[in-house]
Chain A
Amino acid sequence: MNIGYIIRRLLGAIPLLLGISLVLFGVIHLAPGGPLDVYADNPSVTPQAMEQIRTAYGLDRPVPVQYFLWLKSMLVGDWGYSIRTGRPVLSEIVDRVRPTLELGGLSLVVSLALALPLGIISAARRHSALDHVFTFLSFAGISVPVFWLALLLQLLFSISLGWLPSAGYQTIGGGSVLDKLAHIAMPTAVLSLATVASWSRYVRSGMVDVLNQDYIRTAYAKGRRESGVILYHALRNAMIPAVTIIALDLASVISGAVITETVFAWPGIGRLFIESMDGRDYPTLMGLMMLGSAAVIAANIAADLAYASLDPRIRYE
């Protein structure tokens, strides 16, 4: 792996992040209204007190000045303070990372475990009835609105059958492993469906391309069985396009699943985003959006690196 290439890509991410921060800061601070709107109708908050709060958060300064102050402190690792809770933005986010990573990680494992076999079977039995069924299901999977699917699962498994808790991270006061699994089951299913649907298509098309190549015919000709040809000869090459897509989708694990976490009251990063929206918590929103964008950039670099390391024909200069 070319170290110089990696360094260049990381350096290239810096102007990208600066551009993103400018767009986001502009959007957040130029919109009408502000975090102090909650006090506007409160008669006990005097205009003088309003001014004090405004000054305390630096909201009285011109927006460009606010941007440079934000940038300066961001560069030394100070993400500012949440307006909603008064705590540092970084610890607000760190508190929510674990549930999000648990949910995202489990969905990742489930999605891979389903998408790989489905894609491989579809490709190996191309144009069979099974392939058509899988194709239809994957179209359905990418077309289902996640919030509706979440409601349907709640209706079936929590309300009708009573098997699973309808929402939450665990039973209040802490729960056993089984209790946590029961809580994470439905959000995982909802998050995995769309990824299984799309990843299995990429696995399938990668596999179809590879299975048409000469070296596969050679493998059959020397007497290998189909399972051996597919798993030993074809799979590694077939996975190259899929790995790129999977790496790109990893970014969404970090930025959190806003809809799924909201419907299932999952205390992760996506939920924190919605809570910060309600309070117009500028510093937290800025921090979350920057984190999500950095994750997308990192995932892009990871995808390109994975591509190069899987396919020795590709060389980055």
Chain B
Amino acid sequence: MSDIALPATPLEQRRRSYWAQVARRFLRHGPAVGGLAFLLLIGLGVIVGPEFSPYDYDGQDFELIGSPGEMTQAHWLGTDELGRDALTRLIYGGRVSLSVGLASALIATFLGTLIGALAGYYRRWVDIVLMRFTDVMLSIPALPLVLLLSGLLRPTIPLLVAIVGSLIWMGTARLVRSQFLALREREFVEAARALGARGPRVMFRHILPNAIGPITVSATLAVGSSIMLESALSFLGFGVQPPVPTWGNLLNAASPWLSTAPWLAIPPGLCIFCTVLAVNFLGDGLRDAMEPRG
């Protein structure tokens, strides 16, 4: 066995140095590092935050019911018209918004990768059928379609994740397809086939790892778009339903009180804005790091 272990060493080194290069290029990208740091911070915040809050997200202070309460020592960001602590709801809302965003992006990336891989690898009628379907989905305006689905189905959170995820995979599918079309002609794929590897193994063991850069970038950006989409849905009242808070429906609830209690409307939007901005910077940095000259 020792004679075939030899060529493995330089290969292993080259692989390490690719990721070392990626890390080095990424760390040089200031905004991306800042974005990543912010996302880790806010992720930590929504995970441990509720532990430190003396309130429940649906716990009411019956002395403060009727109209929004001001920012006080007891309620740092005030209370809503039902006497619930705004900061606690903001943190819980972040939990929901971030998990919905991450999960939808995962689904979209999985769907897009699968569809793009099948179309790009098998070509012919598989490609034609899948890409025509992609065209159909791309031609329907996205936000109205999401509104339509969630308005008609009145979804629970998992169903909402499935809806958002199954409507934003098209970009990834086109990207993965073009990667597969190019990569399937390369020598290493021919070599794998010559050694007897068939369909799925060639696709997922040999071709997919070489397309990991663009897929990572589009997955990252998908997190931003699904957070935005979920917030828009919940803001319009078609997404996650109260009393479960999300950044979007907190804004919806705050908007009638805009003139009397503006302090309720600013924090949720600021959270969406900063999170999406951080995700976009992160995606930009990953693009520079993983797809040089790309």
Chain A residues with CB under 8 Å of chain B are 15-16, 19-20, 23-24, 27-28, 31-33, 136, 139-140, 142-149, 151-152, 154-155, 159, 251-252, 255, 258-259, 262-263, 273-274, 277, 280, 285, 288-289, 292-293, 295-297, 300
Contacts and interface: CB of A to CB of B under 8 A. Distances in A.
Interface residues of B, number: 44
A204 to B, nearest CB: 14
Contact of B132 (A19, A151, A251, A293): A19
B141 A16 contact: no
Contact of B144 (A32, A140, A144, A255): A255
A147 B258 contact: no
Given A23-B136, A31-B152, A143-B224, A255 B258 contact: no
Contact of B251 (A28, A139, A140, A148): A148
B276 A145 contact: yes
A147 B235 contact: yes
Given A152-B269, A289-B141, A258 B149 contact: no
B280 A142 contact: yes
Contacts of B153: 31-32
Decide if the interface of chain B is mainly helix, strand, loop or mixed: helix
A277 B277 contact: no
Nearest to B141: A292
B141 A140 contact: no
A142 B228 CA distance: 10
Contact of A259 (B143, B262, B266, B277): B143
Contact of A27 (B152, B231, B277): B152
Given A139-B277, A259-B232, A151 B265 contact: yes
Contacts of A300: 139
Given A32-B153, A145-B232, A288 B135 contact: no
B238 A151 contact: no
A273 B232 CA distance: 15
B145 interface: yes
B141 A19 contact: no
Please give me the 4 A-B residue pairs with the lowest Cβ-Cβ distance, nearest first.
Answer: A148-B269, A31-B152, A143-B277, A292-B141
B21 interface: no
Interface of B: 31, 132-133, 135-141, 143-145, 147-149, 151-153, 224, 228, 231-232, 235-236, 238, 251, 254-255, 258-259, 262, 265-266, 268-270, 272-273, 276-277, 280-281, 284
A32 B151 CA distance: 11
B259 A258 contact: no
B144 A288 contact: yes
A293 B139 contact: yes
A212 to B, nearest CB: 14
A151 B269 contact: yes
A292 B140 contact: yes
7 contacts: A27-B148, A145-B235, A148-B269, A151-B255, A258-B144, A258-B236, A280-B152
A51 B24 CA distance: 69
A277 B151 contact: yes
B144 A16 contact: no
Contacts of B138: 296
A94 to B, nearest CB: 18
Contacts of A159: 258-259, 262
B273 A143 contact: yes
B92 to A, nearest CB: 19
A20 B140 contact: yes
Given A259-B232, A285-B148, A154 B258 contact: yes
Given A139-B31, A151-B269, A258-B143, 19 more contacts: A16-B132, A27-B152, A140-B277, A142-B280, A143-B280, A145-B269, A147-B232, A148-B251, A148-B269, A151-B255, A154-B258, A258-B147, A263-B255, A274-B236, A277-B148, A280-B152, A285-B148, A288-B144, A289-B144
A289 B139 CA distance: 10
Contact of A16 (B139, B143, B236, B272): B139
Nearest to B265: A151
Contacts of A145: 228, 231-232, 235, 251, 269, 272-273, 276
B136 A20 contact: yes
A197 to B, nearest CB: 11
Contacts of B276: 143, 145
Contacts of A144: 273
A293 B144 CA distance: 10
Contacts of A255: 141, 144
Given A16-B136, A28-B152, A143-B224, A251 B251 contact: no
A27 B166 CA distance: 13
A1 B265 CA distance: 52
A296 B277 contact: no
A149 B139 CA distance: 27
A277 B238 contact: yes
Contacts of B236: 147, 258-259, 262, 274
